[in-house]
Structure 1
């Protein structure tokens, strides 16, 4: 059984039909890339999995660790072990790196004690392990998050998600606006996270960079999956890449 199973979901923003019978799966320990052009439905897919509203899922099924989570509130999805790092990152710019991470830990601990009808999960990744995975953040513990570089802010957003006890990390455009050298640093961090036991579903416009670290890839177009295979198979499928990714 896959860690995550998305089956035939239809999703809407008001009456705009965005996802049309989309299905995908993610196995434990994988890095899976979800690729496609702007407006294809990539971010909508992540938001559906994370329980964010909008969109509105009107058909299909989303199962995590075998449990049905379709329509589950975002905070309860998070407690179950799914964390979304959105495209805009949403760090607290006036707090230091250390304060951002501490706040994530406080929120996680409080969420586990407020009587929700989901399994209680203990703690997140210890802070010393987070700093070991992100040495740049260790060097900048007392620096205001808003003064970090774009790559460092992306690392902080990912690190904060790990503090929330994450089994499945959803990353929306983690390389956007980053220089090639900084992308390499973020790539290395994602690979370390996977090595530490966190599964990753990655949405990225930079298809070449995404398939470099992914085990498998899906390509979405007009709300449906048009390619499902290994990263190597997509790398070798020039017709699919040119038609749906423009690379």
Structure 2
């Protein structure tokens, strides 16, 4: 679905991405992990055309990304950020319908698609009439996901989608989202700081450091055959609850 070849991106003297080569397979879930400042979110924004490489090439579905093709491209991509990135002056239904209205969908079609996705994402129907400030964190995230799925995109890009949620809500949403990804069969790329979450979701984990890919592959490969000491330490850096209470 995506192919990146020697992608570079700098902000002044700092290299956000430094010669990244990456293939993101269609229909699979890929998790981007790494320490803060590693380039994860920059890479994700590159996939939707919110960032542009200083050098190198990003290809989507076999064709190079072009600025003049971005409007059509973005209709094939759903993008979700923390808290859903909702507009506070619109209720949930208005947030969900925004792009569909822009494209001229009828009210009946919007309502039918919204109801279908609300059921799929386990959002109560009455929540659609509330404004973002009236929704829980988990509900806002579900609304953001519904909005991203509204046009039935080929790709879902998620930037720390569950990072602001409490542990119980996060645990439940992780289970629901993994089942949803499996059911829909879409290409999914997500950024997370949570190693266990990356392993839970992903077919492929991509570990970045200082703008470079240190290792990529199935989660078990990074755990059992780390490329170097950094990979070993990073993959085992999170303490379990049992370890913490000893």
TM-score computed with the length of structure 1 as normaliser: 0.83
Provide the rounded CA distance (Å) in 2 between the counterparts of 1:92 and 1:29: 30
Contact persistence 2:207–2:213 (CA under 8 A): yes
Provide the rounded CA distance (Å) in 1 between the counterparts of 2:152 and 2:13: 35
In structure 1, list runs of 5 or more residues that go unmatched: 112-122
Q: Does 1:93 align with 2:88?
A: yes
Match of 2:233 among 219, 237, 242: 242
Match of 1:166, SS state, is coil
Match of 2:35, SS state, is coil
Match of 2:175 among 170, 188, 193: 188
Q: Which of these two proteins has the greater Rg computed from alpha carbons?
A: 2
Distance change >3 Å, CA 147–CA 236, structure 1 → 2: farther
Shift of 1:237: 4.9
The total of aligned residue pairs comes to 229
The within-5 A match list for 1:149-168 is: 149-168=136-155
Match of 2:35 among 26, 29, 37: 37
Contact persistence 2:32–2:191 (CA under 8 A): yes
Distance change >3 Å, CA 233–CA 99, structure 1 → 2: same
User: Between Structure 1 and Structure 2, which shows a larger proportion of helix residues?
Assistant: 2
Q: Which stretch of structure 1 is more off in the superposition, 9-18 or 153-162?
A: 9-18
Distance change >3 Å, CA 200–CA 134, structure 1 → 2: same
Provide the rounded CA distance (Å) in 2 between the counterparts of 1:89 and 1:74: 21
Shift of 1:189: 3.5
Provide the rounded CA distance (Å) in 2 between the counterparts of 1:165 and 1:136: 18
Question: What CA RMSD, in Å, does the superposition of the two structures yield over aligned residues?
Answer: 2.5
Shift of 1:208: 1.1
Distance change >3 Å, CA 145–CA 230, structure 1 → 2: same
CA deviations 1:112-140 (Å, max 9, x no partner) are: xxxxxxxxxxx9x9223311221224341
Match of 1:104 among 99, 117, 126: 99
In structure 2, list runs of 5 or more residues that go unmatched: 239-246
- The answer for the alignment partner of 1:115 in structure 2 is none
Provide the rounded CA distance (Å) in 1 between the counterparts of 2:177 and 2:78: 14
Provide the rounded CA distance (Å) in 2 between the counterparts of 1:216 and 1:178: 24
Match of 1:40, SS state, is coil
Match of 1:223 among 211, 215, 223: 211
Match of 2:11 among 10, 13, 17: 13
Q: Does 1:61 align with 2:57?
A: yes
Shift of 1:211: 1.0
Provide the rounded CA distance (Å) in 1 between the counterparts of 2:223 and 2:165: 22
- The answer for the alignment partner of 1:169 in structure 2 is 156
- The answer for the alignment partner of 1:117 in structure 2 is none
